[in-house]
Amino acid sequence: MAGAELPTPRADRPDTQGPGLTGCGSCAFANAANLTKLGVDPGRGDYIAAVAGNPNTGKSTVFNALTGLRQHVGNWPGKTVARAEGSFQYRDYRYTLVDLPGTYSLLSTSGDEDIARDFLLFGRPDVTIVVVDATRLERNLNLVLQILQITDRVVVALNLMDEAGRHGITIDVRHLARELGVPVVPTSARNGTGLPELLESVEQVANGTVVTKGVRVQQRDARLERAVSTLARRLADEFPGLDNTRWVALRLLEGDPSIERAVRDGTLGGLGHGARLAGAAEEAS
C-alpha cells in the first residue's frame, strides 16, 4: 500500500519532524509531531473519519488544521454545502477525513441533513469527530445525542473553549464524557490548542484501543419506549451485528423512506461490524 512508503515520524523519534520542534517549540503542533498533513490525497486511507457538528462551530477549521487544506473558513453558518474530503497521516495510520455540512439536527429531511445523516449511516466512518460549540453546549448536544444513536465511534471536540472561558463558562469535561459515553476533548481549533489530544483520541477510537458506548436516549413515553424496544429486538434478530437497532427502529416507526429501502434491499444487513462497504459511501453521496 502507498501508505507504507510515506515518511512516518514515530512517537519515539520526534526529531524526524525537525522544524516542527526547533522552529516552534511552544506552539500547539510541537506535540503533534506525528501528524503529516496530506492535503487532497487520492490514495485510500486506512480509516475514514468524518467531521460533523452544528453550523459555525469550527468544523472546517478542524478539517483544515488536520489536512493542511485551505477549505474556505467563514464566520457564518451554512458555508460548507457539500462534502469536502482530505487526508492526513497520524502515526501509523492514514485517514480520509470527510467534512460534512453543518446541521442542527438529523431529524428533518433537508438536503444538508440528508448528506450528513446518510454519510454517518451508510458511509460508516470509523470515527466521527463531532465539533461542538462550548458556548452553546445544550443546543449542540442535541446533535451529539442524535449522532450517538447512529454510531458509537464518536469523539467530541469541545471547541471554542477560549471563547467559553471569556464568557465565564466552565465545563466539567470528564463528567460530560461519562454522560455521553465517548471521549470529549477540549479544543480551540483556531489556535491549534487541543488538536494533539484530539488526534490521540481519534486514533484510539478508530483502531479500537478505546471501545466507546454512546449514551442511548430513552423515550419518556412508555408506549413509545415499548414499541422501540420490541422493534429493536426484531431488528437485532434479523440483522445480527447491527449496533444502532434502537435508532433504526425509531426511524422505521417514523416511516423514514430511505431506512425502509435499506431494510427491503438488504443494505441494512451489511451495516454491522465487518467489512466496510466501500460502495455504500459513494452511493450515499
Partner 1 sequence: MSDAAILDEAERLRNDLPGDFSDSIVASLYSDAARITSTSLTQDSQRARLTVDRALDRALTHRVWGFVVMGVLFFGVFWFTIAGAAGPSGWLMTLLVDNGHEWLRGLAVGIGAPAWLTGLLVDGVYLGTAWVVAVMLPPMAIFFPLFTLLEDFGYLPRVAFNLDRLFAKAGAHGKQSLTMMMGYGCNAAGVTSTRIIDSRRERLIAIITNNFSICNGRWPTLILMGTIFVGALAPPALAGVVAAASVVTVAFLGVLVTLLVSWGLSKTVLRGQTSVYSLELPPYRPPQVWRTLYTSLIDRTLKVLRRAVIMAAPAGAAIWLTSNVAFGDASVAAHLVGFLEPMGWLLGLNGVILLAYIVAIPANEIIIPTILMLTMTLGPNLFGAEGGVMLELGTAQTEAVLVQAGGWTLLTAVNLMLFSLLHNPCSTTILTIWNETKSLKWTTVATVLPLGLGFAVTAMTATTARLLGWV
Contacts to partner 1 by CB under 8 A: 55-56, 70, 72, 74-79, 81-82, 104, 107, 110-112, 135, 137-139, 141-142, 144-146, 163, 166-173, 175-176, 179-180, 190, 215, 217-221, 223-224, 227, 230-231, 234-235, 238, 249-250, 252-255, 260, 263-264, 266
Give the separation between CA 68 and CA 93, rounded to whole angstroms.
17
Instruction: Tell me the closest approach of the beta carbon of residue 81 to partner 1, in angstroms.
Output: 4
Residue 49 or residue 100: which is nearer to partner 1 going by CB? 100
Residue 30 or residue 137: which is nearer to partner 1 going by CB? 137
153 by DSSP, 3-state: which? coil
Residue 34 or residue 103: which is nearer to partner 1 going by CB? 103
Instruction: Tell me the closest approach of the beta carbon of residue 108 to partner 1, in angstroms.
Output: 9
DSSP conformational letter for 109: -
* Location of C-alpha cell 474530503: 85
Instruction: Tell me the closest approach of the beta carbon of residue 75 to partner 1, in angstroms.
Output: 4
Instruction: Give every CB contact of residue 97 below 8 A, 6+ residues apart in sequence.
Output: 49, 50, 51, 63, 66, 67, 85, 86, 87, 88
- Across-strand partners of 128? 50, 154
Instruction: Tell me the closest approach of the beta carbon of residue 135 to partner 1, in angstroms.
Output: 7
Instruction: Tell me the closest approach of the beta carbon of residue 2 to partner 1, in angstroms.
Output: 28
Element (H, E) at 128: strand 127-133
Give the separation between CA 49 and CA 96, rounded to whole angstroms.
6
Residue 27 or residue 171: which is nearer to partner 1 going by CB? 171
Residue 207 or residue 258: which is nearer to partner 1 going by CB? 258
Residue 79 or residue 276: which is nearer to partner 1 going by CB? 79
36 by DSSP, 3-state: which? strand
Which cell numbers hold the place of 96? 480520509
Which cell numbers hold the place of 166? 471569556
Q: Choose among 162, 189, 161: nearest CA to 173.
A: 161
Which cell numbers hold the place of 34? 506525528
Instruction: Tell me the closest approach of the beta carbon of residue 115 to partner 1, in angstroms.
Output: 9
Per-residue CA distances from 21 to 15, 62, 191 (Å): 7, 21, 17
Instruction: Tell me the closest approach of the beta carbon of residue 233 to partner 1, in angstroms.
Output: 10
Give the separation between CA 263 and CA 270, rounded to whole angstroms.
10
Residue 8 or residue 229: which is nearer to partner 1 going by CB? 229
* Location of C-alpha cell 487520492: 42
Residue 202 or residue 252: which is nearer to partner 1 going by CB? 252
Instruction: Tell me the closest approach of the beta carbon of residue 110 to partner 1, in angstroms.
Output: 5
